[in-house]
Structure 1
Amino acid sequence: MERKVGTVSRGIRCPIIREGDDLAKVVVDSVLDAAKSEGFELRDRDVISITESIVARSQGNYASVEAIASDVKAKLGGETIGVILPILSRNRFAICLRGIAMGAKKVVLMLSYPSDEVGNQLVSLDALDEAGVNPYSDVLTLEKYRELFGENAHEFTGVDYVAYYADLIKEAGAEVEIIFANQAKTILNYADHILTCDIHTRARTKRILKAAGAKVVCGLDDILTSSVNGSGYNSNYGLLGSNKSTEDTIKLFPRECQDLVEDIQQIILDKTGKHIEVMVYGDGAFKDPQGKIWELADPCVSPAFTKGLVGTPNELKLKYLADNDFKDLTGEELRDAIASSIKEKDDNLVGNMASQGTTPRQLTDLIGSLCDLTSGSGDKGTPVVLVQGYFDNYAN
């Protein structure tokens, strides 16, 4: 019988994961128990996705603010540090900032405006227009910012991040100066030892600062790249992708986990005979139209995935075929013609008009976004997501 359901995304309930747990076993058992309980079966090319949080927790990949401070001081000298372009987040950056400030005598904090890299807004574009401020060239002191814009609480959190970050730095024992600018070189008027905290533009920012004469340039991805006094670490991403764990510790992005996804793939094959794909996912890659926040605060959506998830979709646009190639057909004749086109499509549809409007993104970014929305970030208790039918099409 013809299948009537396409892609299905299921959140899978799991036990609470602790350091040292056999995560591959937990994930496999949880998926197979869910299949038995809910009456579904695994199929070839299903995707099991595991949130990065439980991977890092099983690895015990945590670090204290003292470890951050020690590494910052060792790499940036412990005197005046320019800390530039951070995101505005209590969960993502505030604890890191405490550690950074503990490793310095003075922090010159340069905030981008009107919003941070992922869309958290300090002021509105309308307010900038009204004040006659050009964010691409104008540098604002804290006093000028307050004079023009006053206090601005975040729409969703109610936090004035300017005051919040200033207080964190002072409480950590460092002097603080805050400026607002969007050109990385601006910070060199205040400091020559720079910690750049941007995520996806970090390589360019480092290049610009080094070319402009900065003495020392580090990114968040250069801090805690190895263990400090027994702390967790991430050799690829450092502090990028970290989250608040407690008031004094962070959970880092998971370390090497390629073996994990391949082990789960093999165990499922041994137990069920099905060849499934497996990935670890963090933030999805999508933007909130209300708050203007781009979700991706992790350095990537997926730090590890099996080979079948490499690449981008290769799809035809059904409405294009229906409105153009087969505009004179209806009913079963139309359905059969479209199904035939899908079955006979080229392996690479780049440049083909019939594929325009399909989503030209990496499979892991698309599936990871679906999984992030499915699992959420709160109390659903589904850190594993099973995606079925993602690779099906109208011809199946």
Structure 2
Amino acid sequence: MRCVGTVVRGIRTPIIKENDDLATIVVDSLMNAKESEGFEFKDKDVVAITEAVVGISEGNYVTVDDVAKDLQEKFPSKSIGVVNPILSRNRFSIVLKGIARGMDKIVLQTTFPADEVGNGILDEEILAESDFHLGSVISEDDYKETFGSWIHPFTGINMIDFYRELIESEDCEVEFVFSNDVKTILDYSKDVLTCDIHTRGKTVALLKDLGANVYGLHQILTEPVDGSGFNPQYGLLGSNKATEEKLKLFPKTGDKLVKEVQKRLIDITGKQIEVMVYGDGAFKDPVGKIWELADPVVSPAHTDGLIGTPNEIKLKYVSDNKFADLRGDELKEAIKEEIRNKDKDLTGQMITEGTTPRVLTDLIGSLCDLTSGSGDKGTPVVFIQGYFDNLAND
């Protein structure tokens, strides 16, 4: 009898740099891990590669000047409203530097009490006791008077002060406004850059219908500027700070990479191994309130075997209801038989109640992101075995 289900391993690789042969590095690192740890490959194993090293190996970078030039072409007035930025030094500060370098004035409108992914901007207890509410428009002066002393408990930074200093360092004028209604920005400017991630299409369409000259971050750097990197689908969304003057973009060759890694692994092992590229996991921290998904998608590329959603029954439901009178081995065998005979599509059936209704790549990508972390683990490849197994697989 098998006593272990899913096994997840972070795979160490060499430090990956621009123009490295990433497919070879991934496969070689897996083979080295196999020899070191003594595991064997199986059908439906999953190999996941973090988007960061894919973008690095592609050399998919842009500079602050590239961002500024693209924006100047789209906003010749050089005075724009910027709505729904996330409050992140890693994710947005270099983007904002490029915006400020290309513009003469910015009206920066942020949501409150937090940005789209949960980064706080003010003390919610003070908000509850103030005259303001979630439908209010809060001026910069009112923010300073009521909330301006607030700093983020994890970073120790007031991001409004940080963003102001960054923008002004580029000789750009800035005015802040705080509103949860994107239409508020039209009181300040008809030229608008929207920065929201997961509601980007709706926001751009709404403002365009109201007569704005509007672009989203996903529409900036979709083509090269003076030979720069670019991402035709996501633009600046999913970018990360590389240096104080450079951004690494979300990868654009992931589809080619996953197919190549899969082919090599199948040739070597004879097993049907699935491969994906993953970015941020789609989970929310209940303490820090951060929704981790600052990338436009969890997985920008994956092989066909990872398409779909889980088709699982809820063991607790079956045990407590259909087999309430059974115990021990008799119960286990009854549940195994239930699993073996389950429908190929359980959608809408009570027997699935309590299972996680998410696509496979979001679930697996979250598992991978938690495994590889965002710091110094040195495991940009994650190897998963048994993810598609169930209790009936002995």
Given that 1:237 and 1:299 are in contact with CA atoms closer than 8 Å, whether structure 2 keeps it comes out as: yes
Whole-Å Cα distance in 2 between the matches of residues 205 and 128 of structure 1? 26
Q: Say yes or no: does 1:390 pair with 2:387.
A: yes
Q: What is the SS of the residue equivalent to 1:68? A: helix
CA contact (8 A) 1:226 1:234 kept: yes
- Equivalent residue for 2:274? 277
8 Å contact kept, 2:217–2:235: yes
Moved more, 47-56 or 115-124: 115-124
User: What CA distance in whole angstroms lies between the structure 1 residues aligned with 2:330 and 2:60?
Assistant: 57
Q: 1:84, 1:197 within 8 Å by CA — same for their partners in 2?
A: yes
TM-score between both structures, scaled by the size of structure 1? 0.98
Deviations 1:16-47 (A, max 9, x none): 11111111111011011101111111111000
Aligned to 1:86: 85
Which residue does 2:10 correspond to in 1? 11
DSSP-derived class of the 1:119 partner: coil
**Distance in 1 between residues matched to 2:253 and 2:137, nearest whole Å:** 41
Aligned to 2:71: 72
Provide structure 1 residue ranges, at least 5 long, that are not aligned to the other structure. Answer: none
Deviation per CA, 1:219-265, whole angstroms, max 9, x where unpaired? Answer: 00011001101111100000000000001101000013211101111
2:235 aligned partner? 238
- One-letter code aligned to 1:179: V
- 1:126 Cα deviation (Å)? 2.2
2:207 maps to amino acid: L
- Cα offset for 1:132? 2.4
Give the superposition deviation at 1:123: 1.5
Counterpart in 2 of 1:344?
341
1:78 shift after superposition = 4.5
Indicate if the aligned counterparts of 1:14 and 1:30 stay in contact, CA closer than 8 A: yes
Aligned-partner SS, 1:245:
strand
For residues 264 and 123 of structure 2, the distance between their equivalents in structure 1, rounded to whole angstroms, comes to 51
Structure 1 SS opposite 2:185: helix
Residue 202 (structure 1) aligns with: 200
Whether 1:182 aligns to 2:180 is yes
Query: Is 2:129 aligned against 1:126?
Result: no
After TM superposition, the structure 1 = structure 2 runs for residues 312-351 of structure 1, keeping only pairs within 5 Å, are 312-351=309-348
Q: Deviations over 1:69-89 (max 9, x none)?
A: 000111122421101110000
Q: Distance in 1 between matches of 2:165 and 2:137?
A: 22
| Residue of structure 1 equivalent to 2:47 | 48
Cα distance in 2 for residues equivalent to 1:41 and 1:32? 10
- Where does residue 154 of structure 2 map in the other structure? 156
Q: What's the TM-score, normalizing by structure 2?
A: 0.99
Counterpart secondary structure, 1:91: coil
Is it true that 1:292 corresponds to 2:271 in the alignment? no
1:12 Cα deviation (Å)? 0.1
Q: Distance in 2 between matches of 1:16 and 1:83?
A: 36
Distance of 2:347 and 2:335 partners within structure 1: 19
Instruction: Confirm or deny: 8 A CA contact 2:191 2:214 kept in the other structure.
Output: yes
Matching residue's letter, 1:175: E
- List gaps (5 residues or longer) in structure 2: none
Does residue 379 in structure 1 map to residue 372 in structure 2? no
Helix, strand or coil: the match of 2:371?
helix
- 1:59 maps to 58
Give distance in 2, aligned partners of 1:361 and 1:93.
Answer: 28
2:59, 2:137 → 1: CA distance? 42
Letter in 1 for 2:94: I
Deviation, 1:351, is 1.5
Residue 350 of structure 2 corresponds to 353
Distance 2:8 2:97 in 1: 38
C-alpha change, 1:250 and 1:81, in structure 2 (3 Å) is same
Q: Deviation digits for residues 136-158 of structure 1, max 9, x if unmatched?
A: 2x111111111111221112111
Q: Give the aligned partner of residue 170 of structure 2.
A: 172
Q: Secondary structure at the match of 1:164?
A: helix
1:107, 1:184 → 2: CA distance?
15
Residue 27 of structure 1 aligns with an amino acid whose one-letter code is V
Q: Is the 8 A contact 2:123 2:150 kept in 1?
A: no
The answer as to whether partners of 1:72 and 1:78 remain within 8 angstroms in 2 is no
Matches within 5 A, 1:102-121: 102-121=101-120
Q: What does the per-residue CA deviation read over 1:178-199, in whole Å, with 9 as the maximum and x for residues that have no partner?
A: 1111111100111111000000
The aligned runs of 1:301-320 (5 Å cut-off) are: 301-320=298-317
* Deviation per residue, 1:260-312 (Å, 9 max, x gap): 10111110010110111000000000001111000000000000000010010
**Secondary structure of the equivalent of 2:374?**
coil
Look up the match of 2:249. Answer: 252
Partner residue, 2:33:
34
Aligned to 1:218: 215
User: Which residue is equivalent to 1:261?
Assistant: 258
Q: Aligned equivalents of 1:219 and 1:173: distance in 2? A: 23
In structure 1, what residue type is equivalent to 2:198? Answer: H
Is the Cα contact below 8 Å between 2:152 and 2:158 reproduced in 1? yes
Partner of 1:363: 360
| AA partner of residue 220 (structure 1) | L
Higher mean Cα deviation, 273-282 or 123-132?
123-132
Runs (4+) of structure 1 exceeding 2 A deviation are none
Structure 1 position 333, deviation (Å): 1.3
